[in-house]
Amino acid sequence: MASIRVYLLTCRRPHLLRRALRSLMAQTFTDWACELHNDAPEDNAPARLLAELAPGDARFTYHLHDPQWGPVTSFNHCFRAGSEPYAALLEDDNWWEPMLLATLHSAIADQPAVALAWANMRVWRENDDASWTDTGSTVWPTGAKLRHFDWPVLLQAFDGLHSNGAMIFRRPDGAQGMVPAGTPFAIIEAARERALPGRFLLVPEVLANFAQTRRSARSGERARWAEGQLLLAASFFEAVPLTPAAWDELMGLCRRAIPRRTSMLMLLALAGVRRREILSRAVPADMALFAYSFLGNLRENMRALGFRKTHAELWAWLRAQTAARTNEARKAGWTALGEGSLFTKHGKGTEQR
């Protein structure tokens, strides 16, 4: 039995899969087994590529999805219980540096309280001619130190801490880590963090590469993206008590974010979520920007305000998972999210659609 099961997921991008596959085979840590999952039943290119690059390598198994699973089901499969103690996920458009598995395995192996460890990622942009440009940015500050995160962290109101394509995690029991099938793919990392109990560990060394591709499974529809943000934030603020200092900190975070997130807070208030806490901290510039944004995308914003009904199953799941994680934190001695709870994340930018 291998120490790590790697799930390599691909769908109609053999030109990118070649790079990802080579990065896995170049790992200095070799005690792994890999499931290559092809979510395009009509495309046999991944099987041919595997035969070309890894002929006779018994560590690989090939899985063709027929009918197609879709991205959320494919990702959920990686979080099913299994015999290996650890698992990792590699998407076909991302790729690893040779020391990723060795470094993350070493970081998590002697820390049983850590459920998931992940590394920093360098951000690349795909050009129209299929070449790649190093943006010069990383997801996390490069000067950061090794850091543990316990639920809740203020950033988790809107975003996920970890990155799918740069992590190793302990194999979960049962369905821990699986998200509802209707989860918008843009929030899958943040939603999954509501279902994975335990500590998270950031290894700030840049050991993986994130691709801003021209096409992505992440929907470019603004209303669907806004619905995901509202689902995350509303369920977070319902369960997690914030001190006044934390609310001040959150407003500052949203003003500094790129793109600016104060309008999302205003939309939350309009939906009846923590209206007093949000509006009492809004300044005229926040209100003016929100009015411009709301009226300029009136139809999408009105649709987004129905997020509780549109995503009733996911809304119920997020509320339950967020409340459960918060209750566990209370039992461990945590009382309220206060000042100093924020850790800056650069983010991966906006994928080209």
DSSP string, 30-52: --EEEEEEE--TT--HHHHHHHH
Distance separating alpha carbons of residues 94 and 120, to the nearest angstrom: 13
Q: What is the pLDDT of residue 291?
A: 95
Distance separating alpha carbons of residues 177 and 191, to the nearest angstrom: 9
Residue ranges covered by each domain of the chain? 4-212, 222-331
Distance separating alpha carbons of residues 166 and 348, to the nearest angstrom: 13
Q: What is the pLDDT of residue 203?
A: 95
pLDDT tens, per residue, the chain with 353 residues: 899 999 999 999 999 999 999 999 999 999 999 999 999 999 999 999 999 999 999 999 999 999 999 999 999 999 988 899 999 999 999 999 999 999 999 999 999 999 999 999 999 999 999 899 999 999 998 877 899 999 999 989 999 999 999 999 998 776 688 999 999 998 999 999 999 989 999 999 999 999 998 766 544 566 688 899 999 999 999 999 999 999 999 999 899 887 788 999 999 999 999 999 999 999 999 999 999 999 999 999 999 999 999 999 999 999 999 999 999 999 988 877 765 555 456 666 433 22
Structure-token pair, residue 271: 């939906």
By CB neighbour count within 10 A (0-12 exposed, 13-18 middle, 19+ buried), where does 29 fall?
middle
CATH of domain 4-212: 3.90.550.10
Strand boundaries in 17-110, DSSP class E: 32-38, 60-64, 86-91, 95-96
Distance separating alpha carbons of residues 98 and 176, to the nearest angstrom: 29
- Nearest to residue 121, comparing CAs of 212, 31, 186? 212
Distance separating alpha carbons of residues 280 and 288, to the nearest angstrom: 15
DSSP structure class, residue 336? -
Q: What is the pLDDT of residue 253?
A: 84
How many residues are recorded in the chain? Answer: 353
Residue 279, CB half-sphere, CA atoms under 13 Å: how many? 10
